Amino acid sequence: MTLRIPTFLRATFAACALALASSPQAQLAIEITGAGANRMPVAIAAFEGESALPRAVTDVVRADLERSGIFKIVELGPSPMGAEAPPDFGRIRSRGADAVAVGTVAPSSAGRHQVQFRLFDAAKQVSLGSQAMVMSPNQYRTTGHRIADYIYEKLTGEPGVFSTRIAYVLKSGSRYELQIADADGSNAQTALASKEPIISPAWSPDGTRLAYVSFEAKKPVVYVHSLATGQRNVAANFKGSNSAPAWSPDGRRLAVVLTKDGQSQIYTVNADGSGVQRLASSAGIDTEPSWSTDGWIYFTSDRGGSPQIYRVPGSGGEAQRVSFEGSYNVSPRPSPDGKSLVYVSRNGGRFQVTLLDLASRQTQILTDSSKDESPSFAPNGRMVLYATEVGGRGVLAAVSSDGRVKQRLSVQSGDVREPAWGPQPRN
Partner 1 sequence: MKYTRFALSLITIGLLAACSSSPKTDGQTGAAVEDRSSASSSGVDANRVVPVDANSGGQASYPELKDPKSILSKRSVLFDYDSYVIKDQYRPLVEAHAKFLTSHPNVKMLIQGNTDERGSREYNLALGQKRADAVKKALSLLGVSEGQLESVSLGEEKPSCSEASESCWSANRRGDMLYSGEF
Between CA 122 and CA 41 the distance in angstroms is 10
**Site stretch for partner 1 (CB under 8 A), options 68-76, 184-192, 235-243, 400-408:** 235-243
Tell me the closest approach of the beta carbon of residue 362 to partner 1, in angstroms: 23
344 binds partner 1 (CB under 8 A): yes
Between CA 65 and CA 36 the distance in angstroms is 12
301 vs 401, which CB is nearer to partner 1? 301
111 vs 262, which CB is nearer to partner 1? 262
C-beta neighbour count of 179 within 10 angstroms: 24
Between CA 396 and CA 42 the distance in angstroms is 28
H-assigned helices in 104-251? 140-156
Among 104, 139, 287, 407, binds partner 1 (CB under 8 A): 287
Tell me the closest approach of the beta carbon of residue 107 to partner 1, in angstroms: 46
148 binds partner 1 (CB under 8 A): no
Between CA 278 and CA 238 the distance in angstroms is 13
24: which strand partners?
A: none
Tell me the closest approach of the beta carbon of residue 133 to partner 1, in angstroms: 38
Q: Are 189 and 26 in contact (CB under 8 A)?
A: no
Among 103, 160, 185, 307, binds partner 1 (CB under 8 A): 307
**Site stretch for partner 1 (CB under 8 A), options 14-22, 28-36, 83-91, 325-333:** 325-333
Under DSSP, the state recorded for 314 is: T
Footprint of partner 1 on residues 363-392 (CB under 8 A)? Answer: 373-374, 392
49 vs 289, which CB is nearer to partner 1? 289
3-state secondary structure 18-53: HHHECCHHHCCEEEEEECCCCCEEEEECCCECHHHC
Contacting positions for partner 1 (CB under 8 A): 197, 199-200, 215, 218-221, 223, 231-244, 257, 259, 262-264, 269-270, 272-276, 285, 287-288, 300, 307, 328, 330-331, 344, 346, 351, 373-374, 392, 418
